[in-house]
Structure 1
Amino acid sequence: MKIGIAINDTWSFFNEIYNLIKSSHQTTLFSPQKSNFPLFNTRINRKYYRSQLNRFLSSNDVVFFEWAGEYLAHATALPKQCGIVARLHRYELYQWAEHINWEKVDRLILVSQAKEGEALTSFQELNGKTLVISEGIDLQKFPFSPQPFRKQLGILCHLTPRKRVYELMIAFSEYNLAKDGYILHIGGGEHPKFKDYYQSIKALISNLDLENSIKMHGHVTNSLEWFANIDIFISNSYSEGLQISPMEAMASGCYCLSHAWPGSNELLPADNLFLTNAQLNTKIRSFAALSETEQLDQKKKLRTIVENKFDIQIVGEKILREIESVGNKFV
Structure 2
Amino acid sequence: MVAEPTPSPALVRGRQLADAGRHEEALAALREHLSGRSDDGRALNDAGAILYALGRFEEAAEHLGRAAALLGDEAGQALWNLAEVRLASGRPADVPPLFGGLRRAGLLTADLVNRTAAALADQGDAAGALEALLGSLRLAPGQQQVLGPLLEHVRGLRPKVAFLSDFEDNKFIKDIYSFISERYEARWLRRGGPREIFAILRWCDIAWLEWCTGQAVAVSRMPKVCRTVVRLHRFEAFRPWPREVRWENIDALVTVGNPSVEEHLRRSVPGIERRTRIVPVPNGVDLARFAFRDRPRGRNLACVGYLSLHKNPMLLVQAFARLHAADPQYRLFFAGSFQDDGILQAYLDDLIRELGLQAAVRFDGWQDDVAAWLEDKHYLVTGSIVEGCPVGVLEAMARGIRPVVHAFPGCSALFPPEYLWRTVDEFCERILAGEYRPAEYREFVAARFSLEDQLARIRDLFLDLERRPVPKPGAAPAARAPT
TM-score normalized by the length of structure 1: 0.86
Match of 1:311 in 2: 450
Distance in structure 2 (CA, Å) of the matches to 1:153 and 1:31 = 36
Match of 1:19 in 2: 178
State the Cα deviation string for residues 32-77 of structure 1 (Å, max 9, x = none): 66xxxxxxxxxxxxxxx32332222222222111212222111012
- Percent of residue pairs identical: 23
CA distance change for structure 1 residues 3 and 101 in 2, over 3 Å: closer, same or farther?
same
Deviation at 1:196, TM superposition (A): 1.4
Task: For 1:91, give the aligned amino acid.
Answer: F
The answer to whether the 8 A contact 1:242-1:263 is kept is: no
Match of 1:124 in 2: 270
Match of 1:43 in 2: none
The answer to whether the 8 A contact 1:158-1:189 is kept is: yes
Distance in structure 1 (CA, Å) of the matches to 2:191 and 2:293 = 43
CA distance change for structure 1 residues 232 and 104 in 2, over 3 Å: closer, same or farther?
same
1:142 to 290, 293, 314: 290
Q: Secondary structure at the match of 1:240?
A: coil
Distance in structure 2 (CA, Å) of the matches to 1:178 and 1:226 = 26
Structure whose alpha-carbon radius of gyration is higher: 2
Match of 2:165 in 1: 7
2:400 to 249, 253, 266: 253
Deviation at 1:160, TM superposition (A): 0.6
Deviation at 1:17, TM superposition (A): 0.9
> Does residue 328 of structure 1 match 2:467?
yes
Worse-matched range after superposition: 307-316 or 171-180: 171-180
CA distance change for structure 1 residues 330 and 205 in 2, over 3 Å: closer, same or farther?
same
Deviation at 1:176, TM superposition (A): 4.4
State the Cα deviation string for residues 116-165 of structure 1 (Å, max 9, x = none): 22222322332151121101121111110132222222211211111111
The answer to whether the 8 A contact 1:160-1:194 is kept is: no
Deviation at 1:31, TM superposition (A): 5.0
Deviation at 1:210, TM superposition (A): 1.2
Structure 1: 5+ residue stretches without partners? 34-48
Match of 1:91 in 2: 235
2:333 to 166, 169, 185: 185
Match of 1:262 in 2: 409
Q: Secondary structure at the match of 1:186?
A: strand
Q: Secondary structure at the match of 1:124?
A: coil
1:79 to 218, 223, 228: 223
Deviation at 1:179, TM superposition (A): 4.1
Question: Which aligned segments of 4 or more residues in structure 1 are displaced greater than 6 angstroms?
Answer: none
Total equivalences in the alignment: 307
Q: Secondary structure at the match of 2:389?
A: coil
Structure 2: 5+ residue stretches without partners? 1-158, 471-483
The answer to whether the 8 A contact 2:165-2:191 is kept is: no
Alignment of 1:189-228 (within 5 A): 189-191=337-339, 193-228=340-375
Q: Secondary structure at the match of 2:208?
A: strand
Q: Which has the higher contact order (CA 8 A, sep 6+)?
A: 1
Q: Please state which structure has a larger fraction of its residues in helix.
A: 2
State the Cα deviation string for residues 163-217 of structure 1 (Å, max 9, x = none): 11111111222354464421122222333x3421112212221111111222222
Worse-matched range after superposition: 11-20 or 320-329: 320-329
Worse-matched range after superposition: 51-60 or 274-283: 51-60
Q: CA RMSD in A?
A: 1.9
The answer to whether the 8 A contact 2:253-2:278 is kept is: yes
Match of 1:157 in 2: 305
The answer to whether the 8 A contact 1:17-1:312 is kept is: no
